[in-house]
Amino acid sequence: NAGVTQTPKFRVLKTGQSMTLLCAQDMNHEYMYWYRQDPGMGLRLIHYSVGEGTTAKGEVPDGYNVSRLKKQNFLLGLESAAPSQTSVYFCASSYLYEQFFGPGTRLTVL
């Protein structure tokens, strides 16, 4: 079992560029989450999904879109990247309340 994997591990974007972060889990979990982590801010929930085909807004959803077309995948999109979106992005999945986190994606927007 790979658990939760994230692609890519690192990325540098220019302001205005778009990109998609991929999260995949092989644990057959219903629930999936996208967080961002900034120094001194802890983790903040961007969007989450309670099942295939469903998504919901978290604490800081602006500037991001998500899709959950397949149960095992949860995609996070940035349509027009801004420097304020420079952060480490973590994906997580859960069966019930215990969240399993991926290794993270470090994104820098110049």
Sort strands 19-25 and 65-67 into parallel, antiparallel or unpaired.
unpaired
Nearer to other proteins, 87 or 102 (CB): 102
Q: Which stretch binds other proteins (CB under 8 A): 12-20, 51-59, 62-70, 78-86?
A: 51-59
Residue 47, amino acid: H
User: To the nearest whole angstrom, how small is the minimum distance from the Cβ of residue 71 to other proteins?
Assistant: 15
Residues constituting the chain: 110
Q: Establish if 101 lies at the interface with other proteins (CB under 8 A).
A: yes
3-state SS, 69-105, equals CCCCEEEEEECCCCHHHCEEEEEEEECCCCEEECCCE
Using CB under 8 A as the binding rule, whether residue 41 contacts other proteins is answered as yes
Q: Which residues bind other proteins (CB under 8 A)?
A: 31, 33, 35, 40-45, 48, 50, 56, 58-59, 90, 92, 94, 97-104
